Structure 1
């Protein structure tokens, strides 16, 4: 089970269910059927979000009952209006791949809380669509989620650019599986296992190929739909945790002002304050908490000077850090570092 509640888009899971066929779930035992039917009901809306544990349970059931461990490694298929989400519509409305990748990178968390995609370009003009590598990438459930995400993105890329799009390489962080040949066969690319990253790679020449001429009004309509979804996601649940995560991952500077933080989540500063107030916190409290957590980590894991640590966490200098640290921890950063080192000596004998 996940320690933190996380969610994935139905658009990632729906193709697996469609492949299983409608009669597959009619054969389930009664004790399994009720819970699974509840999950399937959620899948009717491709823009809904499933609890990750529920998604993992459904995927595991599909794999076990079909006996197909490679079920999540899917080949590209035709566009299906019933299982396509708003982000896919926006992606396919784009006139160039460059434009489509911009929106994918910006709104990728609509597909999964853990799917913050980065698009980079190497010196030899190779584009990398990089997926995050989870700490538990070696576990089967996480591997299946990664396979699902890659299958979905490859499907979108080929629906937009056509079957002639050449994917030069796909790198995955986990070791080769028993069904390793399925990867290159289904994804039509060379596969690199045990890579230090997770990425889909192709040449930059595809970025600005003229694909079609979408009516700009349709494109703007789709953009508004996706932006509204993203705003709703930012407003829902623990916005404070999403802000904290953005700070710790250096997506937002720790000394960013309120408007910058609001802009990152595509909401107004007023909306930001209102939702944080509902969660009994404030932006100042979140920033202070992240600064303290980062400071404690740097004090114990590095030999950086306290002045340097203060600058790293976005403060003007040591004096300001001392004041905040003493107020929250009842000791100075120097005392904390000394105390932690003494404890480590005792533990290590």
Structure 2
């Protein structure tokens, strides 16, 4: 049943798909590829402790940093494909409920494209009318977020596998695309795993990343369509997207303010005054993003500490004092919690 509490739906949706997706990928690297967690998280701004939080919500910068890190370390060419299959409608939050309430598969697809940032903040997709195999098709083209090759491949493969799962769940039976194309080459000896999932022609090294839908497939009526709720859920998606954009912008501005504050670090009250808000309101905006003021301070301190340790000869004592710590022991404890190693060891390895 679709949720009818706008406040609940709005809060839940702000945990974007990638937070869960990336956690599954990290778990796969650690458990199946024996990759140390500290190595995966290095230079991403995400701590091992934060990953234990079930309501983790990544900032855009953290999401991209982790995606790039996972792509560069991964040794399994099917990692994203296998993880994507596990990401169904529940991972799409309020957008998933709106798609379920749609009348046809085409309506659900158009909703997904319209509100794509609710699934992946920075990537985007386009729908075009095209012809394949002599028949008119609707073509969904995915433009991934990252610019580097490996990370783009990771995102596209996970997205396509996830969409197969999502559309199967929407129709309550397997949905067969007319064609699937990837712009990257196949990293396996053959495309059998892809053929088995999609059950349609799958082509690699093409000009675009596309899913082709036949008109017959798009015309399928959805078994759980709820026209009386569809409009309300679409409005909730729109409200959530507006709120998400506002909160993303505010978080970026707060981070810039903290990074530029000298000397030391600003207090919550000082930051709230700067943005003409009460401390309580500012804290609520951050909580909506799964963040806290303390986490932003720690992120800024960690970034600055790494910069000082790798690019200057300042002592650990002076760096700790510069970052606002009362004593060097507190700084050492915090840095080890962030990076998994003491400041001196980090400096030696960089």
- What is the TM-score normalised by the length of structure 2? 0.53
- Following superposition, the deviation at residue 31 of structure 1 comes to 4.1
Deviates more, 1:83-92 or 1:94-103: 83-92
Structure 1: segments with no counterpart, 5+ residues? 1-7, 242-349
Instruction: Give, in whole Å, the separation in 2 of the partners of 1:47 and 1:143.
Output: 20
1:148-191 per-residue CA deviation (whole Å, 9 max, x = no partner) reads 12122222112112333211211111122236523223333321
Would the aligned equivalents of 1:16 and 1:72 in 2 still touch at CA under 8 Å?
no
Would the aligned equivalents of 2:77 and 2:187 in 1 still touch at CA under 8 Å?
no
- Following superposition, the deviation at residue 220 of structure 1 comes to 3.4
- Following superposition, the deviation at residue 38 of structure 1 comes to 4.8
Would the aligned equivalents of 2:171 and 2:221 in 1 still touch at CA under 8 Å?
no
User: Who is 1:299 aligned against?
Assistant: none
Structure 1 residues 213 and 135: CA distance shift in structure 2, 3 A: closer
**SS of residue matched to 1:57:** helix
Would the aligned equivalents of 1:12 and 1:149 in 2 still touch at CA under 8 Å?
no
1:203-241 per-residue CA deviation (whole Å, 9 max, x = no partner) reads 1112222222533343334223311221023324559x9
Find 2:196's aligned residue among 177, 185, 201: 185
Instruction: Give, in whole Å, the separation in 2 of the partners of 1:200 and 1:176.
Output: 16
Instruction: Give, in whole Å, the separation in 2 of the partners of 1:71 and 1:30.
Output: 17
Is 1:11 matched with 2:17?
yes
Structure 1 residues 79 and 30: CA distance shift in structure 2, 3 A: closer
Would the aligned equivalents of 1:94 and 1:219 in 2 still touch at CA under 8 Å?
yes
1:100-157 per-residue CA deviation (whole Å, 9 max, x = no partner) reads 11211211122234422111222522121111267846x2121111111212222211
Structure 2: segments with no counterpart, 5+ residues? 1-13, 253-350
Residues 93-242 of structure 1: pairs in structure 2 closer than 5 A:
93-123=101-131, 124-132=135-143, 136=147, 139-178=149-188, 180-181=190-191, 182-237=193-248
1:39-68 per-residue CA deviation (whole Å, 9 max, x = no partner) reads 63566357975531123324555x34xxx2
Find 2:66's aligned residue among 29, 47, 54: 54
Structure 1 residues 171 and 78: CA distance shift in structure 2, 3 A: closer
Residues 262-273 of structure 1: pairs in structure 2 closer than 5 A:
none
Would the aligned equivalents of 1:10 and 1:45 in 2 still touch at CA under 8 Å?
no
Residues 324-343 of structure 1: pairs in structure 2 closer than 5 A:
none
How many equivalent pairs are there? Answer: 226
- Higher-RCO chain (CA-CA 8 Å, sequence separation at least 6): 2
**SS of residue matched to 1:184:** helix
Instruction: Give, in whole Å, the separation in 1 of the partners of 2:189 and 2:65.
Output: 24
Deviates more, 1:205-214 or 1:142-151: 205-214
- What is the TM-score normalised by the length of structure 1? 0.53
